[in-house]
Chain A
Amino acid sequence: MSLCEIATLSRRKMLGLSGSLVASAFIPKFARAADGRDPRLIAIILRGAMDGLSAVAPVGDPDYAGLHGDLALGFSGENAGLALDSFFALNPAMTNFSRLYKSGQAAVVHAVATGYRERSHFDGQDVLESGFAGPGNVSSGWLNRAISAIPNGSRVASNPSLAVGAVAPLIIRGPAETLGWAPVNLPGPTQDINQRLLDLYQHTDVKLAKLFSESIKTQMLVSGQAMDVSMGKVNQGGDMVAQARGAAKLMAADDGPRIAAMAFDGWDTHENEGGAKGRLFNLLTGLDGAIAEFETGLGAAWAQTAIVVMTEFGRTVNVNGTDGTDHGTGTLAFLAGGAIKGGRVIADWPGLKNAALYQGRDLKPTTDLRAVLKGLLGDQFGLSNEALSKDVFPDSGLIVPMKGLIGV
């Protein structure tokens, strides 16, 4: 695979990309921290709102199967998921995650949400990435402010962090220096936007609809994929894997970034979401592949790595009229990496009885995502509670960091 750098920052040249860092000989070596730790953190945003109830299904909840309809997973049969415990089953797409889970290197935090309670993707993502309690703050992201709060002298502080993609996601934008990198073949317009645009043209502009459907057909032929837009057969898994592979290579280096952020699009599954197979399954396959790339690519550094996967909000418990789900509230966060104290689903499960649902339609969040993130940042990088509650996640003093997520 060929890689290129998109960054415009001056230090980008330090990152050689053909296996080793070209400039490594000229970079001063840092002493290991006293405890010998050299932790890494990777933040992955899933844009569009992932359906947590189909990614990790509460099969043991007596109301689940009825509410989530054809999308529901089970412990056995045609829609069998991968059992995580006697209550939750993982989407069968995530075989790597399942393996890591069994070896104690992956965990799920369920029924989580940010502080945002409306249902706009844009605002929801801003809240998720800015780390503020509400929308309207887009000048910097919480991960960037966390980097600034890490004590000087550590490798995390000394090695610029990595923003993957043509444009740095908000989560890592801000005053702390970052490097940008993206695969040469940028993820082009996605299958998802193609479908939305085709729908729009079909309703508004017959001529453009005809041209655009021809264009999609050609793209399908070129990529060797079937013309099956509605099933989302052309998933973006390849893009996710490519981004992870490149990022892992950079982060594995002794003088590489210790922190990285990336965003994967396409999770807004209003139509034909699928369950044990289909659109969401394909997306999760990509995500699972990306996590596996990190495991492989980071090598020895994997042992002290934590990956956190999060999304702006969840989706409705009920299936809608087009075999998908609409914007909801509670969802989940995936944790993976050698540093994670895994093998468990962490959830204060609210249940799916109608009275327990948020506004009668969504999984009620019982854990604030910021508690998870504060816990990770505190245990992984030694950030003080004060810095976490003031600078990184402003006005979050009442949200107690979740302890014990890091197991090393």
Chain B
Amino acid sequence: MTRDSRVLRQAFSVAVATGAYGISFGALSVAAGLSVLQTQALSLLLFSGGSQFALVGVLAAGPAGAPAAVAASSLLGVRNGLYGLQVSKMLDVRGWRRVAAAQLTIDESTAVAVGQRDAAAARTGFWATGLGVFVCWNLMTLLGSLLGDALGDPRRYGLDAAAAAAFCALLWPRLRSVDACAIAALAALVAVLVAPHAPSGIPVLVAATTALLAGVWRRAHHDPPPPHHWEHEGEGAAA
């Protein structure tokens, strides 16, 4: 197989796998009280899975949590800035292409791009994965939100548990070291203990400060830099 078709096949498999969970985002978003149109706007404009799940997860508790929901979503989006730093060196884009590249800078496109052996393959990988995920993610979001709209009471179908499981699955690939597990355990504990005493959304923001521990704890978090996603899929597709 030629190098290009190998990269494209990898991009395709990542796009389909990621798109599949767009269904769960769409269903959970309407279950959280957003309209089909608002849900679709998030997948088109915000386009970053973790931030989208966080926003609708916090909004589910009621509109009073909206500012905290935006804050949680944006803090999760900080990592995309770091990804941009990595991929901008490979892409060398200007003008509208830079705007398009920025919008497509997410876990998956960055992971495929940095996983390539040379710059040309990295560029192909970035654009193919970014565009592929964008299309699949948006189509599956629409399908999920229409299905979710038809379902009715979210609790009856276990959609509240599905939201918790979605966050688990997003967290899982990042738990590669003892420090990562310690920060995760502490953050979860802080959030649950603060929850009864604070308005919705605030507990998550308070818990986010545990990440500062990694800053003062010099030996903490000696993982390779992000992203950690899709490594297995990348290896599988490249084999």
Does chain A bind chain B?
no
